[in-house]
Each structure stands twice: as C-alpha cells, then as structure tokens.
Structure 1
Amino acid sequence: MSRSSISKLMRAFARPAGPRRHRRRRTTRFEHLETRRLLAVADVYENDDTPTNASIISLNDTPQSHTIHDGGNDVDWVRFQLVDNSDVIVQATQADSFGMDVQLFSVNDTVNPIGTGDPQTGLLRAWALTPGDYYAKVSYFGQEVENYFLEVQSRNPVGVMERVDFLRLAGEGINAVQFTPDGRLAQLLWFGDQLTYRVQSHTGQITEESIASSPTSGSFDPRHPAQANLLFGADAKPHVLMSDGGETVRHYRRDDAGWTLVDSVELPAGSFESIAHLAADIGSDDSLHFIATVGGFKTGRLVYGTNASGDWQVQQVADPAATETFGYFAADHRRYVSMAVDDNNAAHVTFTPEFLDNGTGGFARPFNQLAYATNASGSWTTEIVHQPTDDSGESGSGATIAIGPNGQPAIAQFFVDRVSTGSASFSRLLYHTRQAGGGWMTETVASAPDGYSAGDGPKFTGYAPLLKFDAEGLPHIAFSDHASQHFPTFGADEFAGQIRHAVKQNGVWTIDRVLPQSDPLRNQMVYPAMAITSNEIF
C-alpha cells in the first residue's frame, strides 16, 4: 500500500481539555433523572419476582411505587417495549434518594445483563437499544425497602460524541477497530458499563448493538477492567471474547438472531484474583485463541486458551507474569500482553515476565523485560526479546505483535529508560523482527515527540504502539507520544497524547501526525486503534 492510498486513520478519543484530576462531567436531565418524592403506597405490582410475572412499565411516565420485602430476598421485574432504536434510562430510587441495584436484560436472555446500574444512584444508562422487549430487575442487596420509585425513560439515540464522557475503546485498542469481511468498519466500545458493537455501512449509516455489561472502573480511567476483543471468522460473523472482571472469559457471537453468549471459560485462578489483561486472535480454521494475565496486584500468571480441539482448553504459559505497573501516572495501564495467530494456527505472544522487588530508597524497582512465547513447536517456549541495559528501565510496558508477510512475528515496542528511583530518562518506539534462524533484529522507529512535550523535555515517544501489516506486507504502527514532568510536591508524572502513524517503505520509516495535540498536562490520549483494508487505514 502506498502512502498516497492511505486515506484515514482511526482516531482514539481524547480526554477533554483541563487537568485530568479536576475534570467535571457534563450532565443533562436525561442522564440524572429528578428524584420524585411520592407518598408510599402498597406494592400493587406483586407478585413480580420472576421475568414471567414481570409487570409492565410505560416509557416516560409517572414512576411506579414498589417495595422490597421478605427480608430483602424479594426482587422486582418490569418489562417494557421499544418500537424504535432508543437510548434508555432506568432509575430506581428510594424516597431518601438512596439508589437501588438495577440490571437490564434482553427478553431472550434473563441471565446475563446487558446493562448494570450505579448502586449509589440507582441509575442505569443503555445506549442505542434496538426495537424489542426488555426487562429491568431491581433488588437492594439483601435488605428490605419500604418504598422506592421506578421509572424508565427513552429518547432517540444521540451521536457518539455526545457520549464521549462515557466512552472507552474496548481492551486497550487492540482488536477494538476492525473491518468486516465485506469491508464495513466495525468498532467495539464501552459506553459506561455497556459493551457495544458499532458498524458503519458502505453508505455511512451507523448501527449500534448492545452485547453485554460489566462493572465499570473509575470515570477517569482510560481502560475498562473488563477486557474485550472483536474478531471475525471466515463466515463473516463477529465474535467477542470478554473478561467478566473476575476469572471468566466469555465468548459472544452474533448471528441472524443477534448477539448470544456461546461459552463461558473458567480460568485457573486463585482466591481474590482476576483477569488483568486479555488479548485474542482467530485462526485460519476459525479457532479462537486468547492469552490472559491472571493474578492480584503487580504479578500473576500467563494463561492461554483455545477451542481448536472443539472444546475449550486452558493451560498455563508462564509464572510469574506482570499484571500492573510499578507506578501510577496519567499515562498508566500499559499493554502487558498481545497475541497473533499464524496460518498454521500457532500462537505468538508478547508479555512482561515480572516486576522485581523494591530498589533504591524503597521505591518500586523500575525494571521489566519484553518476553516472547510461542507454541509453534507443539509446546510453549519463551525467550527475552529486549531488556534494559542496566537495572532501571521498562522494556515490557507496551508492545503488540503481528505476523509479517514472511510468516515470522514482528513486534512494536514502547521502551522507557529510567533512573534508579523511577524517573524517566527517555522513551523510544522500537521495532523487532524475528529472524529465520532465530533471534531478533531491532530498529528505532521514533526517538522524539512531535510537538508534545512537558517539563522534562522532548525526549519521550512511542506510547501504546499498535502494529499491523497491510496487503502489500508493509508494517504500520499507530502510537502516541509520551511526556514527563517533575512537580515540587509529589515528584514526576507522565502523560501520553496525540496520534502518530509510522510506515516502513523501501527500508525507510516515515512518520506523520494524525491527530495533533500539545500541552500534555491538559491534553492526553491513549490506546490508538487502527484497521487496514487493501486501500485504506482507519
């Protein structure tokens, strides 16, 4: 693909201007329904304890009055119908403004919710629901409630940018944007706690479908704790592999009847452990493959799952494997795992082996490695691709792997050199190619930002690289610049922002700015996503 044929690059969603810690969310009345204080009345809707006995609730009408009785074991189900694509709010609030536990279900699946409300406010949002019947289920954490009010409101769907405060790319940008086999642009997004499949037709028409829900992380966190990957098989049907925020990977598939939960894969986790990172790919025979880190704070284990044999098989690849960063910055939540499956259905994986013990002055030791694992030989083998030249630096805090035109893996890597106390000295975008006889060849793609710099100077770039090959076998990398600044009260903070695109043609890397930003303290952007066709990049 020539550079002149590249028409578009998918832009990640920037945070609004203003310091990250002090950003305030805009609200409208639709987002926060007014609590209406009504006189408590008997619950005329009982017995509504099951979906079969659900009471009917009218849209945009006076709130219904319900109770939770039977020692808190009672639940209330209501049913409503949408005749058009709609955004929906369900709110269940006690007279004293305490929230209730609210869940939303499709009429075809009353086990796996497609939306979960905020228990503090009793507010549940659902975006772009398709026409049909839906259930809402209300409870109160095993306690009785003398009286609460339940209402459902709907409106025509709003545009994606009107929901940007609630939006996050699924996963960490990897597999969040794909082209369907017939050339339509598809996206996998989180709107609040609602996992959404978004498709743009050849004529520009956009449709959105809710797949599932999962508890959210903090509103300023760029990464949803429930990781999800979008994949397409040879039959053109989309698949989603999603962690549930615990120890389970769920497999959803869309067919003519809509999205359905196909499998739930339990991982060999331990007490109080959960999936921290999840990456997935699909084989040439439509087999599904995933890699995940499972564990507690900082360090856990790397596990691999596949349904290549017909049933899901899960095995441990490495122990230990890193789960979280050694420090927390505005540019936190690195990509610790990535995966690619070759034409022989062998898995190729990058991961971070572990973080080491505290170093100088009791600081967390800023050292990690970039490791590679594969089962191409029939059993898992691992090796170190890159590590710092001394005991302070990060080699494993951001990488993606892809299979090149020669059938060999290639890796785009974010490398940060650090001093012993953790401050960043510089950062780079590196590119590694696997040699036929073994070993890796390394190139520096970018060593400086393009206008995105903070107090520690223009020495940082390469954050969250995403590597893909086009139809001509050219490597493309979407990435962000990196920045650092020391503050007098709490030391260094680090930032990532703007989108850049690198492509290698005729042995030379060329880099462009796709979405410019400056002033890292106020403007950040993480997890650029990219999809490639034969003549376009989004």
Structure 2
Amino acid sequence: MNLELTRLEDRLTPANSVPAGEFNWLQATPAGGLSELVWVGTTLTYRTRAGLGWDEEPVVAGSGYASSTYPDRDTVQRASQAAQLAFTADGTAHAFLLAPGFDASLGVGVDGVRHYTRGAGGWALTETIPLGPNPAGPFTPPADNLTAAVGPGGVFHLLAHRTVQQSTIGSVGQGELLYATNKSGAWAAGRALLTGDQGQDVFSSGDRFAPRFLSIAADSQNFAHITYSTGFFSAGSFAAVRSDLGYATNRTGAWVGETVYGPPDGTGDAALGASVAVAPGDVPAVASYFVDRAPTGSPASSQLLYHVRGAGG
C-alpha cells in the first residue's frame, strides 16, 4: 500500500483561501469520497477530491464574515467559524452559513443561518433559519461561531454562539449558545445555555488563537450533545489565563450543562479544539486540546485529552 501526502490548503500562498468550518471543513462523504468547504476570497466554495486534484464549485458569493484576503489570524478565525459542511445519509451535501440581520421593528440585531443544498444543478439556497433577536440590543456583535450535525432520518442540529453582553473595563461579558433543530419537522430555535465571556480581556490581546470550543453531535434518538467553553478569563497582560471545558445535552428535555475539565492548577486553556462524538449506546465522549499555562499566561505544555464519563457519573 502506498501512502499519499498532499497539502490540502496553504494559508499563505495564496493568502485568499482558508478553510470554512474550522476542524469540520474536510469531511468524508457517505460514499467514501473526500470533500471540503473553503473560502476563496469572499466566495464560499465546495471542493471534491478528483484524482490528485480537486474539483470545485461555488456555493455562494459574498458574506460579512469573509474577506478578499486573510492577512491575520482574526480574519481567518472569523470566516472559518461562520460556515459548516454536513452530509445526509443519501449523500447530499449541505452548507450552513451564519446570516445576521437587523429587525427595524424591534430595534435589535437578528441572527440566522442560511441553508444551502447541492443538487444536480449545483448549489441553491434552501431556507433561512431564524435563531432569534439578540436581547442585548442593536449594537451587540452578531453570532460568531457555528457548528452542525446530522442525526438519524436526516434531522439537522445547529449550534451557534453569540455575545449578549460585551465586556467593558471593570465588567466581564456574557455569551449565549443558540440551538436549532428541525427534529419536529419545522425549525425550532432557542437558547441552550448562557456562558461566561468568550472574548479577549479588554486589557490584553493575543492570548488565544482559534479557540474552536464549539462542537455538536446527535445520538440515536436525535438528542444533541455539545461541547463549549464555560468562559475565558484573563487577568491582563502577563497574567493568569483560564478556560474550562463544558459539556451539555438536552436528553432530559431541557439543557443541562456541566464542566468536563479545568486546569488542575487554576491556569490554562482547557476548552481548545473540543470535539464531541456519540458511541454506540448513546455514550458521549469528548476529545480536547489542553494548554497548560504559567502564572504569567505563557504556554508551558500541551496535551491531547480524551474524556468519557466515569462510573461515578
């Protein structure tokens, strides 16, 4: 057997192409093929593996999350977190894209998701899924992170994060996790959980890169399982940094959250690169990337962790 090594994406050459969907951007199709969702400038593009190359087709052009070039990590992260690729069991490709708007009658920002489906004639907009108005008012940033999963029967599960209270000097912000599903046939969306502040501390910058704390999976009964960050804390430049890894499910009919892992010594990033999956028997498992940090906030070591529920719960 020969192993083939191929560079899938070069984020520097050219600098106008970045993955869309964070660590879900590259996926295997139900038929065993390989597909990816990327931003080529401001065009969301779907690619399929063809021999040693890639065939590509545009999904949609233009988005407030995309940029003609991606010169820094903030523009890369903003675009990458705004879109998701998913496949139903029949092999149909679906793309989901955050689509914020404004409701003049309410005077608030309204978050939504555009759902595109790939058919014989290419990609087409299937529907726009409302996530609801932001209770914080018109000047709060729109939703900034989206992830998607497909459950049995082609049921979709979407999870998004938005800020509902921005941080100011002397006051931390607050995040909100929004969940939407068409499990009942029609789309229903609402708050799953409130989280702590996920943004940079107002006194510091550069402490994190692409936190990737959101992930979602569906079990055999089409209940959702999610990972998230309970909040990001930084005491300022050259000071302690902390985030904890959270897990929640709606299997009981209501969302219940809990902390999976936190820094043992109180300083570190425990909510990086989190990914949840559901094993046979509907048993959840979580993989995450932990960065232990010194009291000054500097990275000291890193570990790839695997979490399952123990005998004690």
TM-score, normalised via structure 2 length: 0.80
Structure 1 residues 200 and 389 mapped into 2: Cα distance closer, same or farther (>3 Å)?
Answer: closer
Correspondent of 1:220 among 48, 51, 72: 72
Q: Which amino acid aligns with 1:168?
A: V
TM-aligned CA distance change 1:336 to 1:200, over 3 Å = same
State the Cα distance separating 1:330 from its structure 2 match.
8.8
Post-superposition CA distance 1:1-36 (Å, at most 9, x none): xxxx894577553444xxxxxxxxxxxxxxxxxxxx
Q: After superposition, where does 1:112-151 map in structure 2 within 5 Å?
A: none
The 1:406–1:177 alpha-carbon spacing in structure 2 relative to 1, beyond 3 Å, is: same
Letter in 1 for 2:119: D
CA distance in 2, matches of 1:291, 1:427: 27
Would you say how many aligned residue pairs link Structure 1 and Structure 2?
284
SS at 1:395 equivalent: strand
- Alpha-carbon separation, structure 1, partners of 2:45 and 2:146: 18
Q: For CA contacts below 8 A with separation 6 or more, give which structure has more relative contact order.
A: 1
AA aligned to 2:20 is A
Letter in 2 for 1:178: Q
* Pair 1:373 & 2:221 matched: no
Are residues 420 and 12 of structure 1, via their aligned partners in 2, closer, same or farther at CA, if it must alter by over 3 Å? farther
Structure 2 gap ranges (5+): 102-110, 168-172
- Percent of counterpart pairs with the same letter? 34
Query: After the TM superposition, which residues 346-385 of structure 1 pair with which residues of structure 2 at under 5 Å, given as runs?
Result: 346-356=223-233, 359=235, 365-385=240-260
Residue 263 (str. 1) matches residue 133 (str. 2): no
Q: How does 1:1-80 map to 2 (within 5 A)?
A: 7=3, 11=7, 13-16=9-12
Structure 2 counterpart of 1:481? none
**Cα 1:302–1:364, aligned 2, differ >3 Å: closer, same or farther?**
farther
Deviation at 1:399, TM superposition (A): 1.1
AA of the residue aligned to 1:186: S
Q: CA deviation at 1:311?
A: 1.4
The offset of 1:365, in angstroms, is: 4.6
Gaps of 5+ in 1: 17-162, 440-538
- Which residue in the other structure is 2:219 paired with? 342
The residue aligned with 2:108 is none
| Structure 2 counterparts to residues 115-264 of structure 1, below 5 A | 164-174=14-24, 176-201=25-50, 206-212=54-60, 213-215=62-64, 216-217=66-67, 218-221=70-73, 222-225=76-79, 227-244=82-99, 247-264=111-128
Work out whether residues 240 and 294 of structure 2, in 8 Å CA contact, stay in contact via their aligned partners in 1: no
Distance 1:373 1:224, change over 3 A: same
Q: CA deviation at 1:434?
A: 2.8
Instruction: Write the distance in 1 (CA, Å) between the matches of 2:288 and 2:155.
Output: 27
Q: Equivalences for 1:360-509 in 2 at 5 Å?
A: 365-435=240-310, 437=311, 439=313
The CA distance in 2 between the partners of 1:208 and 1:336, in whole Å, is: 29
Residue from 146, 154, 157 that aligns with 1:278: 146
* Residues 188-220 of structure 1, C-alpha deviations (whole Å, 9 max, x = no match): 01101110011124x557421111231325532
1:220 partner amino acid? D
For the 8 Å contact 1:293–1:322, the answer to whether it is kept is no
Letter in 1 for 2:34: L
Distance 1:322 1:233, change over 3 A: farther
Counterparts in 2 of 1:403 and 1:11: CA distance versus 1, 3 Å:
farther
Letter in 2 for 1:194: T
- Offset from partner CA, 1:209-263 (integer Å, 9 cap, x none): 1112313255323324361111111222111111136622111111223211112
- CA RMSD in angstroms, aligned pairs only: 2.7
Choose between structure 1 and 2: higher strand proportion: 2
**Distance in 2 (alpha carbons) for counterparts of 1:11 and 1:286:** 32
Q: TM-score, normalised by structure 1?
A: 0.49
Q: Kindly indicate whether the alpha-carbon contact (under 8 Å) linking 1:293 and 1:323 is maintained by their aligned counterparts in 2.
A: no
Letter in 1 for 2:222: N
Q: Note if contact 2:78-2:144 (Cα within 8 Å) is conserved in structure 1.
A: no
Answer with 1 or 2: which has the greater Rg.
1
Match of 1:242, as an amino acid? L
Contact 2:29–2:87 (CA under 8 A) maintained in structure 1: yes
The one of 317, 327, 333 aligned to 2:210: 333
Residue identity matched to 1:260: A
CA distance in 2, matches of 1:9, 1:275: 36
Contact 1:179 1:185 in 2 (8 A): yes
